[in-house]
Every structure is written in C-alpha cells, then in structure tokens.
Structure 1
Amino acid sequence: MLYRTFRLLFRFLFRLFYRWEIEGVKHIPSQGPVVICCNHINNLDPPIVGAAANRPVRFMAKEELFKVPVLSFLLRRFGAFPVKRGSTDKRALKSALEVLKQGEVLGVFPEGTRSRDGSLGKAHNGASFIALKGKAKVVPAAVIGPYRIFQKVRIVFGPPVDLENFQNQQWTSHTLREATDQIMAEIEKLLSKGHSK
C-alpha cells in the first residue's frame, strides 16, 4: 500500500516538475524475474524508474543510506536493500537473487555510481551475473535528463537483452564482461536515440 501511494505521488511530482515522458513500458515482462539495468545520473533515478515501471521495482541502495533513520525505514518499506560499494557484498548478492527467485523486478545501475557528466561509464559485472544466475530477463533502460525544474526528463525502456547464449557457458570474468558489454550497448542505444529526439 505504501509503495503504491508513493508511486502515485512520485508520478504526480515528476509530471509537474520535470514534464517526464515514459516510453517502452511494454517491454517489461508482466510476470517472472526481471532485472532492469539503467544508466545513473541523479539521486532521483531510483524513484523515477520505479514510478515509471508497470511493476514494483526493488533496488540495491548504498548502505550509508540505511543509517539515516526515516530514510532507512522508507527504503525498507519500498523493498530496497543495502549494498557495500567497492567490494563483493555476498549479503546483497543473496538478497538480489532472492528477489528474482520470488519472480520480482530488481533495479540495478551497472555503473555502480552516478555519472558526473551524464555519459555512460564503465559497468561492473554484478548485474549480468545476477541476471544470469537468477535466470531473469534483462530490460535496458535510460534516464535522459538533465534534471532541471520544468525541463523534460525521459525514461525509456528497451526490449529485453538476449543473453541466452551465455546461460550454457561457464561464467568467467571474460564471459560476464561480454554479457555486461551487451547490456550496456543496449542502454547506449536508448540514450543515443533519446538524445536525438
């Protein structure tokens, strides 16, 4: 109930202040495990992507945010869970795979941190590993800003990335990098297409 209420609130606020546009929601499968992989340009990315999606989205969030009392409460109520940045966080990995095991939607920013200039940065392999391990569909997404009051922000979802050929391979750092690069290439396409409009 709380998630639905805040989703409606965010949709109203984003329409009012950012004239937001949403494209490609139809590409998010209506059921089954899904990983939405998106670029990261602003702290508002998680709520704007979550509000735009047609299913509840659970996000990894840096553990520092869970030390802020009220914010921690809200994050947990929204289904977010902490992750330690800069290291392999087995607890966060387990939580992410549990989300997919339950047939839910996981939101991930493969770059791991916000881009300072809006360009797409180098991604970590965590998103591709989680998606492959959780046997989830991977939906690329792009937030096209910048976030400026009363200027347009667009959220574009693309068709699921075909990672089927990686499922039967041994997941080495090399194959995971290939899968990650494939995901990021699709995000780049969405960004390029979006900026050209």
Structure 2
Amino acid sequence: MIYFISLSAIFLVMVFIGIFNQKVDWGHPVMNWLDGWNRFCCRWYHGLAIGKIKLPNGPLLLISNHYSGLDPFLLIAACDRPLRFLIAKEEYERPFLNKMFKLAGCIPVDRLGRVEAAFREALKNLKQGEVVALFPHGKIHLADEEFKPLKKGVFKLAALSKSDIHPFHIQGVSMQGTVVSSVFVPGRVKISPLKVYSAQEVQDPLIQHQLACELLGLPEEPQ
C-alpha cells in the first residue's frame, strides 16, 4: 500500500510540474505537458531564464548558433511561441522520438538527398504565420572551429515568405560539441537576442557574412 501511495504521489508531482510550468499551447496535451517539463529542467538544471524571449506575431525565421544537442530545447524553453524546427531526417525517424517530433510540428530534412520537400513544408508553415526555427550552419559548429558560411536555404526561405530573421546567440552550455552529454551536464545558459534582419537585408552577401559572425559571437572578419 505504501509503495502504491508513493508511486501515486510521484506521478501527481510529475503531472503538476508539467502543467504548472507550461507556457505555450502546442495543440496537444502531451506536448503541453512536455513543454512544462522542458521549461522546468532548462530553468533549474541549466540556469536558463524562462520566457524572456517575446516573439512578435506572424511568420518569422528563428536562427541561432548550434553548440550542442541541448540547443533546441533551450530555445523552445525561452520562447513564448511554438517553434517548428527543421531537423535531420535520421533524427526525426528515431524510434520513440518520432511521435513527439510529429506532435511538435518538426520538419524532417533529408540532408543526403533532396531537400525540396522540407523546404516546401517550411514555407507552408511560414505562410500560415508560424515560427520556423533552424540552425543555419547545418550541424553543430563551435566558434573555435574553421569559419563556415551559413546555408543559403535560410535566406531563400526569408525571401519567398517575406519573413524577418530573428537571430539568437546561445552561451553557457556545458559539454559543447556533444549531442547527449550536454543535456545531462548542468550549465549556466544565457540566450541573447541579436539584431533582427528583414528578408531583403539578408540577400546581401556582406550581411550574410556579418550574421554568421554574430551568431558565433565573433568579431566580423574579412571574407
């Protein structure tokens, strides 16, 4: 009986934490509960200030540097709107996680094949007024690695949807460069908003280079 009562109490506490900390309506009760737990963990385990990013209404592209596997969870926890992430197809199709990715409205990208389907889906989401989030370096890329330009797809999406680009810089993540370890090692994370660029501005190659430097927290270097 004591064992049953203890399990019931733990279950109720877990339900309460998810419901109490949920800030965004994902359109599904399970995702709403997970939203609460994600915000709870990012705040108390990784030191992130929750709900500090107030995104405007309407379609927009959210981009950031990509230091670890924790990054998308941090951005979701910090924002006040659902984020529709572009993620690698092989990650999207992982057993047990695929259902969650679908409920979250993630968009799978076949990095080894044709990306047109993902591009069309992202454009559809933007035209419906959603926030599409992506890491424009294409994969985990640290500031001390060889400089890489941003993928051109983000600028094409901005042009076709006439959406502003809202960039952010993530810092303070432990175990940078890892996918799994960064999730379990506590840190002191800060997410800083950068200058917002219009769809027209980011068609300039000089602005694209400047944005790539800003995302990594680097001084602008000659191309």
Range class of TM-score, shorter chain: 0.7 to 0.9
Superposed CA deviations along residues 133-170 of structure 1, whole A, max 9, x for unmatched, are 1111110011113325343011122242134356xxxx
Per-residue deviation, 1:182:
4.2
Name the TM-score, length of structure 1 as normaliser: 0.80
The 1:3/1:181 distance shift into structure 2, 3 A limit, reads: farther
Counterpart residue number, 1:171 = none
Matched, 1:162 2:198: yes
Q: 1:77/1:154 Cα in 2 relative to 1: closer, same or farther (>3 Å)?
A: same
- In structure 1, which of residues 76, 82, 86 is the aligned counterpart of residue 108 of structure 2? 82
Match of 1:153? 189
Residues 1:176 and 1:83: Cα distance change in structure 2 (over 3 Å): farther
- Residue type at the aligned position of 1:57: L
Q: Deviations over 1:22-55 (max 9, x none)?
A: 69613x21x1101001110111111111121111
Q: Residue 2 of structure 1 is aligned with which of 21, 30, 44?
A: 30
CA spacing shift, 1:78–1:118, aligned 2, 3 Å: farther
Q: Does residue 124 of structure 1 match 2:151?
A: yes
Where does structure 2 lack aligned partners over 5 or more consecutive residues?
A: 1-28, 176-184
The CA distance in 1 between the partners of 2:50 and 2:168, in whole Å, is 11
The corresponding residue for 2:162 is 135
Taking structure 2 as the reference length, the TM-score comes to 0.71
Shift of 1:131: 1.3
Contact kept, 8 Å, 1:19 with 1:152, in 2: the verdict is: yes
Q: Point out where structure 1 has 5 or more consecutive residues left out of the alignment.
A: 167-174
Same amino acid, percent of matched pairs: 26
Cα drift, residue 115 of structure 1: 1.6
**1:25 corresponds to:** 53
What is the CA–CA distance in structure 2 between the aligned matches of 1:182 and 1:132, rounded to whole Å? 18
